[in-house]
Amino acid sequence: MAVHTYLVADLATNRILAEVPLTTVRYGKKLGGTGQVSATLNLGDPRVQAEDPADLTTPARRVVYVLRDDVPVWGGLVWTRRYDSANQRISLGCGDFWSYYDHRKVLLKLDPAKYTDLGYIAHLDPVDLEEMDQNEIARRLIAGAALHDGGDIGVIPDATMSGVITSRAYFGFQNVSVGDALRKLSQVAGGPDMYFDVGPLDAAGRPSRRLRLGDPSLGQQGSPHVWEFGGNMVSYTWPSDGTRMATRVFADGSGFESVINRKPLTPHATAPSAPLANKPKQTTAAATAAATASLCRSRRRSQTARMAGTRAHSHAQCLDAWRRRRNRQIAALDAVERCGRAGERVRHHAPRVGAGALHVLRGR
């Protein structure tokens, strides 16, 4: 398993100040931008107590190097720190050397005697970089930043050439940072890939500071690798799922209405490739259009039959009730006639016979 060590150095001189036991370290490089590191320094560790943690974590003055098996893999400035008195820890936020050049301006060497002139920067001559290779422009930007007092932090650009000739001009009133100028140079069509990196240890045990320049590309061409894990992979799983495989794929058409109106549904299918031609078909839809149409016709016949049966049954019930009511009315009229012949008063029975019954009697 790889062993990581962490060194703290001075930004200006690159002198190694201490090896520190950082924890919860996460680091990464970024093409065309600033790579970052986040880490925690435990002040309760005896190795930390033997040093001056306040000085070792001073923002904008200290550099953190990450070594993997004694090989430098990352380097950058401490920009933020957060002290937690309850847990006795310092949380660090670092950015690689691109972040340093985000704080430097593209300007000619300045005269300190003119700092009191408010229009001094705006009226400076431009930094003209005409008709030269893109990578040479990047090198000139780094060299221009190093010309200013205290501006040389020992970054060494690659000597590669991109093969693309172009020109740039940077005026003082534009207030352009070196980091932004490099970023925009790399983002144009055909621009060179670039990122800040660290090189092998020198004789004094100090990592070198590098600017990697592509010609115009760096690393793998085509689709990039995708890194999903934050550490070394010692094992893996490889699932295969047949439920997601199909030789034919069906999609819904215009919907259920087209089946009701007897409009055929046309399934959309992909033809199987040559290696799958002899394999059994695997349908992903619930049913084909023909089966759907047949099912709809069957359901319609069933519903029609149920509705017809209900109407016939209701009609038969109404007819039987009418016949029973008519028979009762006829029997009542017969009783009235018999009572009349016997001289009885019929008015007590007349109310039992309605007009409808008399109408039925006359029509019989």
For residue 348, the model assigns a pLDDT of 46
Whole-angstrom Cα distance, residue 78 to residue 90? 12
Q: What is the mean pLDDT of residues 197-211?
A: 94
Contact, 57 vs 92, CB < 8 A? yes
Whole-angstrom Cα distance, residue 59 to residue 78? 5
Measured CA to CA in angstroms, residue 91 lies from 57, 77, 95, 97, 182 at distances of 9, 14, 14, 20, 30
For residue 354, the model assigns a pLDDT of 46
- Which residues is 49 bridged to in the sheet? none
At 239-262, the pLDDT tens digits run: 888 887 778 877 776 655 555 555
In the predicted model, is pLDDT for residue 167 greater than 60? yes
pTM of the shown model = 0.61
For residue 331, the model assigns a pLDDT of 74
In the predicted model, is pLDDT for residue 356 greater than 50? no
Q: Tell me which of 148-152, 307-311, 335-339 is least confident.
A: 307-311
For residue 251, the model assigns a pLDDT of 73
Q: What is the mean pLDDT of residues 266-291?
A: 50
For residue 323, the model assigns a pLDDT of 77
Supply 260's token pair: 């009701």
For residue 243, the model assigns a pLDDT of 82
- DSSP-based three-state secondary structure for 262: coil
For residue 113, the model assigns a pLDDT of 93
Q: What percent of the chain has pLDDT over 70?
A: 69
Contact, 22 vs 40, CB < 8 A? yes
Q: What is the mean pLDDT of residues 312-335?
A: 68
Whole-angstrom Cα distance, residue 190 to residue 210? 22
At 209-243, the pLDDT tens digits run: 999 999 988 876 666 667 676 666 677 788 888 88
At 46-91, the pLDDT tens digits run: 999 999 999 999 999 999 999 999 999 999 999 999 999 999 999 9
- DSSP-based three-state secondary structure for 319: helix
Bridge-based pairing of strands 207-213 and 155-157 is parallel
Q: Tell me which of 15-24, 255-264, 293-302 is least confident.
A: 255-264
Q: How many CA atoms lie within 13 A of 121 on its CB side?
A: 12
> 234 versus 171: which is more confidently predicted?
171
Q: Which residues of 119-264 form beta strands (DSSP E)? A: 127-133, 155-157, 165-170, 194-201, 207-213
Supply 86's token pair: 């309850």
Whole-angstrom Cα distance, residue 315 to residue 118? 106
In the predicted model, is pLDDT for residue 144 greater than 90? yes
> Could you tell me how far CA 176 lies from the centroid of its own chain?
32
Whole-angstrom Cα distance, residue 81 to residue 57? 7
For residue 239, the model assigns a pLDDT of 83
Confidence of residue 361 (pLDDT cuts 50, 70, 90): very low
For residue 294, the model assigns a pLDDT of 63
Confidence of residue 194 (pLDDT cuts 50, 70, 90): very high
In the predicted model, is pLDDT for residue 195 greater than 70? yes
> 227 versus 143: which is more confidently predicted?
143
